Chain A
Amino acid sequence: GQNIDQPTEMTATEGAIVQINCTYQTSGFNGLFWYQQHAGEAPTFLSYNVLDGLEEKGRFSSFLSRSKGYSYLLLKELQMKDSASYLCAVTDSNYQLIWGAGTKLIIKP
């Protein structure tokens, strides 16, 4: 079956760095997304990786290793507004988008 694994919850301190991991087992691969979802709100796009390596976008970076079925989202200089759930989603060989359950990130002062 197809599966995406993310930690359920993580806690970090304001100003620090946190890495949220995502591992996937899917039938093929055509890209990996990260979305941010604040409580009670809709998901919003953060990043898209289709090739191996690191994509940097301001305080957020996303890394992909297709051979390992692994990605991470790196958040630097954490702010209280970064408290949210972070959703990992993979497009498989049939171009179906498979979603992980999300990682709830709690930022403490």
Chain B
Amino acid sequence: NAGVTQTPKFRILKIGQSMTLQCTQDMNHNYMYWYRQDPGMGLKLIYYSVGAGITDKGEVPNGYNVSRSTTEDFPLRLELAAPSQTSVYFCASSYSVANTDTQYFGPGTRLTVL
């Protein structure tokens, strides 16, 4: 099993550009999450999904969108990039419900917005 994979690993965007961060898991997990991690800060939840076709906002959803058309894929869309979105983005998945189960993280995408 590859686990959770993310692409790209690194990206530099100009202000106002758009991009999609890809996330795929092969563990047949229902629950998937997108986090951002800023230096010296805890992980912040952007969006999460409890299954295909179901998504919900986390703590910091503004400026982002997600979709979940399949169990495996959970892409994160940035529509109009802003410098405040410079961060490391992690996708994660878990088998069980409600944050009482181990989350498996992808390797992260390091995004810089200039």
Contacts and interface: CB of A to CB of B under 8 A. Distances in A.
B5 to A, nearest CB: 11
Contacts of B45: 96-97
Given A87-B42, A101-B42, A41 B107 contact: yes
Contacts, number: 50
B62 interface: no
Contact of A45 (B41, B98, B102, B107): B102
A44 B104 CA distance: 7
Contacts of A50: 100
Interface in B7-50: 40-45
Given A101-B40, A101-B41, A102-B42, A95 B98 contact: yes
A4 interface: yes
Q: Interface range on chain B: under 10, 10 to 19, 20 to 34, or 35 or more? A: 10 to 19
A44 B40 contact: no
B100 A95 contact: yes
Interface in A22-57: 30-31, 33, 41-45, 48, 50
Interface in B79-114: 90, 97-100, 102-108
Nearest to A43: B105
Nearest to A90: B99
A99 B40 CA distance: 12
B42 A42 contact: no
A54 B98 CA distance: 23
Contacts of B44: 99
Interface of B: 40-45, 90, 97-100, 102-108
Interface of A: 4, 8, 30-31, 33, 41-45, 48, 50, 87, 89, 91, 95-102
16 contacts: A8-B40, A31-B99, A42-B106, A42-B107, A43-B103, A45-B102, A50-B100, A91-B98, A91-B100, A95-B98, A95-B99, A96-B99, A99-B43, A99-B44, A101-B40, A101-B42
